[in-house]
Amino acid sequence: MTIYNKRKIPAYDKNKYQPGFFMQRVREQVEDIFGEQLTGGTGITIAVLDTGIGRHPDLFGKILCFRDFLEKRNLMYDNNGHGTHVCGILCGSGKLSRGKYRGMAPGARLVVGKVLDEKGDGSAEHMMLGLDWILSVREKYGIRILNISVGIGNLEENRKEKALQEKINLVWDSGILVVCAAGNKGPANGSISSVGGSGRVVAVGCHDGNFQKENPGRCETYSGRGVEGADVRKPDLVAPGTDIVSCNVNCIQLYDHIRNAYVAKSGTSMATPIVSGAAALALQKYPFMSNEECRKKLQYTAQDLGIPWNQQGWGMVNVKRLLE
């Protein structure tokens, strides 16, 4: 049984865009007026459950702890690349790009659990183990945010789906802000990830504003939708997710030069760490804010895009409003 929603995403065309445009574009869209600060997110620990994390120079010194729930390896690794890319969006230093591809909260630190394999597949059991681990080390590492860039579809057994949701609720009740992907199964009504529909997570969908409106493969065309008229309106909000350039786990070092340091990926998996990073900035500025208060502040300061609620939630995350 797999829990990671996979979808064929258009490949990055390196000749189509100017280097450095992508995170600049994201920051413009979410009005990140503090985008030049290297200390954003300092003092905030973000937990990540994904495919792991690789030894990328932009992530050196940021990993507090790593745990492998699949092969029980002691040293950190990522044999898929998805988790490394997500971590780069969260808090990559942008060192190899002279800051061009710096993450949202470069001062934050990471606790990473590997729950997905080389294909991006995983089981409810591995996710449950990862969530239990997060709860066990929450106080030790001061975890404030859990990023789950995993589109968890409807599981075959209702019992397992309910157990997973209950465990995520426990993480939320412990004081951790849980931010998860809406999934890439849209655009049908009710296509949001099963966990994303929970009232105790911040579910993040994809939207790129006016960026690449002519591109049929842009992320909002397949972002998971909530259920129209539901008591809990989902997703909570949206963020850019098309062609996001971040750390490439397969970078190659040749003498003193590193090639293929970055790669572009698209999907709600990329939109999710943009919101998690924004939340880290808010929690740094307002350290006594609870996870529920942070969620409301993310919602109430979002920019309404004028599209249906089951597609955008409260709207596009807006960092300027969030931090004012």
Which residues are annotated as catalytic? 50, 82, 269
Q: How far apart are CA 238 and CA 236, in angstroms?
A: 7
What DSSP letter does each residue of 99-167 carry, written as one string? TTT--S-TT-EEEEEE-S-TTS---HHHHHHHHHHHHHHHHHHTEEEEEE---B---S-HHHHHHHHHH
CA angle in degrees (0–180, nearest 5) for 63-66-288: 60
Strand order in the sheet with 45-50: 63-68, 109-114, 45-50, 143-148, 177-181, 202-206, 237-239
What DSSP letter does each residue of 21-34 carry, written as one string? HHHHHHHHHTT-TT
Q: Tokens 């040293």 label which residue? A: 75
DSSP 8-class letter at 12 = P
CB 260 within 8 Å of CB 250: yes
